[in-house]
């Protein structure tokens, strides 16, 4: 009996690792002890040495996480040659693995032959039942587990240049019965509700009718149900050909047969704009045959490809928008024609193309750039991986026209995430709603301003795209902007901290822009420094150099308008002046006034009056005003302290983390 460890690297994965689940079944048949880990083992199993460690791999861009797991496996195995690494990436990039980890044993391709792992009595592991029990070994929860995960065909044969299937499954197998595997799962783990068929191209099978017949016989015909294990109520079952159905091979007969199944959704790839006609034809055949839940994969960021016997051009951002719009428009047309007994829904899933040998996610297609790719990721966040189906969402998120879509791709990422209508929340107070609305208005003013500038460029918008294409918004990029409009637009890509830190070098052109042309940004910068408890003096220096006391007055005015009693801006302002060796106003007295206010030693109106005196930059007047209150405050605080000491709790001064009042007024006391 051997100790077997199975590891899936610690990346997010929608489906459990089927290869490892089958290997587990085999080792359990040998009476071995099998444990499954996601990334690393839990603490209680640390220090144990394993006879064999199997590690699955998936996408090539997960190389870093995969490497970490192999390094870990090598530390927990008795003999380094007994680390077996297989799966998609191991097959596609075997040389990289061998070069990086020369002692491991690499398994290329499928485990569909006897003896692939060199084990005693080993049969074809690929046809074994999945061991669902191993999923209980880990805390990670796969989104899909209440399903049979099976293949009824293998391979594809369409030879699309960008696709890994021709390497992973070079031979097309037109039919694999799943009857026995389902019976075995039912016996060992109980029946599963859904069926996930991971076939690459089931429509190519010359035994397609046999496949459909078997699925119906196994209880996955249209409308079939399954009793809920919790309530016993019947639940609809679903079949999902999750790798998609090939539009080019969809025929009237096959669509009719698919319509006999509990298929939800029918996934049809729309990888290339050149396929629009056959894509629409496949959708129509599905809708006509009663398949109302449809979805697509829309590949973007691609290159020139060959496949399915033809040539495809590298896609453009415009193509992506058009393909999504075609789906949306065609969905409406299908509903007009076939929607009487239930509406047709099409969910679009844009999928970023990455080359088969990419070891990270940084690949940029010929007609794309990093900024646009980042924007797409941002636009897809609200969909939470569920695809785009509603037209109103599509219009609001992607745009109503191709031009608007391109404009959105160019928009600063922060602004992109702030678009959308103001939505009232029933749970919030009126005050909170007003605050949120005020913030929403400010954000939308920034979006409108950036849009105004962008549109003013006209056809020259490309000069802006040229600047932002690398998604690098450092000050160096700013210096490459050749016109005032471009410079103003770039400002909206910088964080407030970055603007403040660099305002001196950005100079009066930008200062005038943010104070005069678009003052809302200046107000936000003031708000930013006031509403931070940790304002750094270094980010105030540039404004002081450019504006001197005007900046100090602006901060005081903004503070009076919206006081924030835990600010440290006045101490930071003093420090910034000191650093510049030009203290024109010791703003620390305003910090002292804030402390008085926090302890309720002065009234609101007195506090405001003191702050207004700050506008005259006369700290003596302020100090005298505070000094007058000093005795009275000391008494109040003593009384408060006494009460609280009697109650056995901390004094409010200590409680608030303040230093004793006397020490906040050293210059007054000494004076």
Residue 158 found at the interface with ligand SF4 (CB under 6 A): yes
Residue 169 found at the interface with ligand SF4 (CB under 6 A): no
In the complex, least distance from residue 158 CB atom to ligand SF4, rounded to whole angstroms: 4
Q: Which stretch binds ligand SF4 (CB under 6 A): 118-126, 151-159, 177-185, 396-404?
A: 151-159
Start-end of H helices in 53-157: 63-76, 88-92, 94-100
- Hunting for tokens 């460690």 — which residue is that? 53
Lay out the site mask for ligand SF4 across 9-48 (x = CB under 6 A, - = otherwise).
Answer: ----------------------------------------
Q: How many residues does the chain have?
A: 671
Q: Rank residues 214 and 246 by Cβ distance to ligand SF4 and give the closer one.
A: 246
Residue 163 found at the interface with ligand SF4 (CB under 6 A): yes
Lay out the site mask for ligand SF4 across 357-376 (x = CB under 6 A, - = otherwise).
Answer: --------------------
In the complex, least distance from residue 246 CB atom to ligand SF4, rounded to whole angstroms: 5
DSSP code at position 340: G
Residue 493 found at the interface with ligand SF4 (CB under 6 A): no
What token pair was written down for 614? 């700050």
Residue 333 found at the interface with ligand SF4 (CB under 6 A): no
In the complex, least distance from residue 170 CB atom to ligand SF4, rounded to whole angstroms: 11
Tell me how far apart the alpha carbons of residues 400 and 381 are, in angstroms, rounded to a whole number.
Answer: 19
Q: How many residues bind ligand SF4 (CB under 6 A)?
A: 10
In the complex, least distance from residue 293 CB atom to ligand SF4, rounded to whole angstroms: 21
Q: How far, CA to CA in Å, does 107 sit from each of 56, 151, 312? A: 10, 20, 33
Tell me how far apart the alpha carbons of residues 85 and 90 are, in angstroms, rounded to a whole number.
Answer: 7
DSSP code at position 623: H
Which of 5, 125, 160, 526 binds ligand SF4 (CB under 6 A)? It is: 160
Q: Rank residues 41 and 158 by Cβ distance to ligand SF4 and give the closer one.
A: 158
- Hunting for tokens 């490309």 — which residue is that? 462
Q: Which residues contact 316 (CB under 8 A, 6 or more apart)?
A: 367, 368
The residues in 195-214 that bind ligand SF4, with binding defined as CB under 6 A, are 200-201
Q: Rank residues 204 and 492 by Cβ distance to ligand SF4 and give the closer one.
A: 204
Answer for the pair 630, 668: CB distance below 8 angstroms, yes or no. yes
Tell me how far apart the alpha carbons of residues 595 and 92 are, in angstroms, rounded to a whole number.
Answer: 65
Q: Which stretch binds ligand SF4 (CB under 6 A): 160-168, 426-434, 556-564, 621-629?
A: 160-168
Which of 174, 290, 307, 548 binds ligand SF4 (CB under 6 A)? It is: 307
In the complex, least distance from residue 269 CB atom to ligand SF4, rounded to whole angstroms: 7
Bond into 194 cis (ω within 30): no
Tell me how far apart the alpha carbons of residues 526 and 555 are, in angstroms, rounded to a whole number.
Answer: 6
Pair type for strands 3-8 and 33-38: parallel
- Hunting for tokens 């107000």 — which residue is that? 523
- Hunting for tokens 């046809």 — which residue is that? 127
Q: Which stretch binds ligand SF4 (CB under 6 A): 5-13, 102-110, 156-164, 277-285?
A: 156-164
In the complex, least distance from residue 84 CB atom to ligand SF4, rounded to whole angstroms: 27
Residue 165 found at the interface with ligand SF4 (CB under 6 A): yes
Residue 156 found at the interface with ligand SF4 (CB under 6 A): yes
Q: Return the SS3 of 37.
A: strand
What token pair was written down for 269? 């790839």
Which of 62, 246, 586, 623 binds ligand SF4 (CB under 6 A)? It is: 246
Q: Which stretch binds ligand SF4 (CB under 6 A): 112-120, 159-167, 435-443, 617-625?
A: 159-167
In the complex, least distance from residue 428 CB atom to ligand SF4, rounded to whole angstroms: 48
Tell me how far apart the alpha carbons of residues 49 and 75 are, in angstroms, rounded to a whole number.
Answer: 8
Q: Rank residues 160 and 491 by Cβ distance to ligand SF4 and give the closer one.
A: 160
Q: Rank residues 160 and 176 by Cβ distance to ligand SF4 and give the closer one.
A: 160
Q: Rank residues 159 and 435 by Cβ distance to ligand SF4 and give the closer one.
A: 159
Answer for the pair 168, 186: CB distance below 8 angstroms, yes or no. no
In the complex, least distance from residue 165 CB atom to ligand SF4, rounded to whole angstroms: 4
Tell me how far apart the alpha carbons of residues 101 and 72 are, in angstroms, rounded to a whole number.
Answer: 12
End-to-end CA distance of the chain: 87
Q: Which stretch binds ligand SF4 (CB under 6 A): 14-22, 158-166, 364-372, 518-526?
A: 158-166
Residue 110 found at the interface with ligand SF4 (CB under 6 A): no
Residue 262 found at the interface with ligand SF4 (CB under 6 A): no
The residues in 607-626 that bind ligand SF4, with binding defined as CB under 6 A, are none
> Strand 345-352's sheet: what is its strand order?
266-267, 293-300, 345-352
Residue 334 found at the interface with ligand SF4 (CB under 6 A): no
Tell me how far apart the alpha carbons of residues 627 and 617 are, in angstroms, rounded to a whole number.
Answer: 17
What token pair was written down for 274? 């050149």
Tell me how far apart the alpha carbons of residues 277 and 267 are, in angstroms, rounded to a whole number.
Answer: 16
Q: Rank residues 199 and 586 by Cβ distance to ligand SF4 and give the closer one.
A: 199
Tell me how far apart the alpha carbons of residues 450 and 456 are, in angstroms, rounded to a whole number.
Answer: 10
Tell me how far apart the alpha carbons of residues 70 and 37 are, in angstroms, rounded to a whole number.
Answer: 12
Q: Which stretch binds ligand SF4 (CB under 6 A): 110-118, 153-161, 167-175, 233-241?
A: 153-161
Q: Which residues contact 639 (CB under 8 A, 6 or more apart)?
A: none
Query: Which residues are near ligand SF4 by CB under 6 A?
Result: 156, 158-160, 163, 165, 200-201, 246, 307
């Amino acid at each position: 009996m051997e100790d077997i460890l199975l590891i899936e690297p610690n990346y997010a994965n929608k489906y459990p690792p089927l290869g490892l689940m089958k290997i587990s079944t085999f080792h359990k048949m040998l009476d071995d002890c099998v444990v499954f880990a996601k990334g690393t083992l839990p603490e209680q199993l640390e220090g144990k040495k394993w006879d064999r460690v199997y590690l699955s791999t998936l996408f090539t861009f997960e190389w870093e996480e995969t490497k970490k797991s192999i390094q870990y496996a090598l530390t927990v195995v008795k003999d380094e040659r007994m680390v077996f690494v297989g799966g998609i990436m191991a097959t596609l990039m075997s040389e990289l693995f061998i070069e990086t980890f020369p002692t491991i044993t690499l398994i290329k391709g499928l485990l569909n032959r006897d003896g692939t792992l060199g084990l005693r009595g080993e049969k074809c592991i690929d046809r074994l039942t999945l061991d669902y029990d191993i999923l209980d070994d880990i805390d990670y929860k796969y989104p899909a587990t209440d399903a049979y995960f099976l293949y009824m065909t293998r391979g594809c044969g369409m030879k699309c240049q960008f696709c890994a299937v021709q390497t992973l499954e070079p031979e097309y197998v037109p039919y694999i019965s799943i009857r026995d595997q389902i019976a075995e799962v039912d016996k060992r783990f109980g029946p599963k509700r859904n069926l996930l068929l991971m076939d690459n191209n089931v429509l190519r099978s010359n035994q397609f009718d046999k496949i459909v017949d078997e699925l119906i016989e196994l209880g996955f015909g249209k409308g079939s149900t399954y009793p809920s294990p919790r309530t016993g109520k019947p639940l609809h079952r679903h079949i999902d050909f999750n790798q998609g159905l090939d539009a080019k091979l969809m025929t009237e007969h096959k669509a009719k047969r698919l319509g006999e199944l509990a298929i939800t959704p029918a996934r049809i790839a729309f990888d290339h704009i050149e396929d629009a006609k056959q894509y629409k034809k496949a959708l129509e055949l599905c809708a006509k045959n009663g398949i109302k839940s449809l979805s697509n994969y829309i590949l973007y960021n691609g290159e020139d490809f060959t496949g399915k016997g033809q040539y495809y051009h590298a896609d453009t951002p415009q193509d992506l928008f058009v393909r999504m719009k075609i789906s949306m428009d065609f969905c409406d047309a299908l509903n007009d024609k076939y929607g009487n007994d239930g509406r047709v829904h099409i969910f679009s899933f844009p999928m970023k193309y990455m080359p088969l040998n990419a070891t990270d996610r940084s690949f940029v297609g010929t007609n794309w750039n990093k900024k646009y790719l980042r924007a797409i990721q941002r636009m897809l966040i609200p969909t939470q991986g569920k695809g785009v189906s509603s037209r109103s969402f599509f219009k609001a998120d992607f745009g109503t026209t191709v031009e608007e879509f391109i404009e959105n791709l160019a928009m600063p990422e922060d602004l992109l995430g702030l678009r959308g209508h103001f939505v009232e929340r029933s749970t919030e107070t009126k005050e909170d709603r007003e605050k949120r609305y005020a913030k929403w208005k400010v954000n939308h003013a920034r979006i409108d301003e950036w849009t105004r500038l962008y549109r003013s460029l006209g056809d020259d918008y490309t000069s802006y795209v040229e600047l932002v294409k690398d998604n690098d918004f450092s000050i160096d990029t700013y210096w490459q902007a050749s016109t005032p409009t471009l410079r103003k637009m770039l400002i909206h890509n910088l964080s407030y901290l970055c603007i403040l830190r660099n305002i001196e070098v950005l100079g009066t052109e930008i200062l005038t822009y943010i104070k005069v042309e678009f003052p809302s940004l200046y107000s936000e910068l003031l708000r930013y420094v006031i509403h931070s408890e940790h304002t750094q003096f270094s980010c105030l220096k540039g404004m002081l150099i450019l504006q001197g006391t005007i900046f100090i007055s602006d901060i005081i005015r903004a503070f009076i308008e919206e006081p924030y009693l835990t600010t440290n801006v006045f101490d930071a302002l003093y420090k910034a002046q000191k650093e510049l060796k030009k203290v024109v106003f010791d703003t620390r007295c305003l910090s002292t006034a804030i402390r008085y206010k926090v302890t309720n030693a002065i009234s609101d109106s007195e506090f405001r009056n003191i702050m207004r005196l700050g506008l005259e930059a006369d700290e003596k007047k302020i100090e005298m005003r505070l000094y007058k209150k000093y005795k009275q405050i000391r008494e109040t605080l003593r009384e408060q302290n006494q009460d609280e000491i009697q109650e056995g709790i901390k004094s409010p001064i200590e409680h608030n983390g303040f230093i004793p009042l006397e020490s906040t007024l050293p210059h007054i006391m000494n004076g």
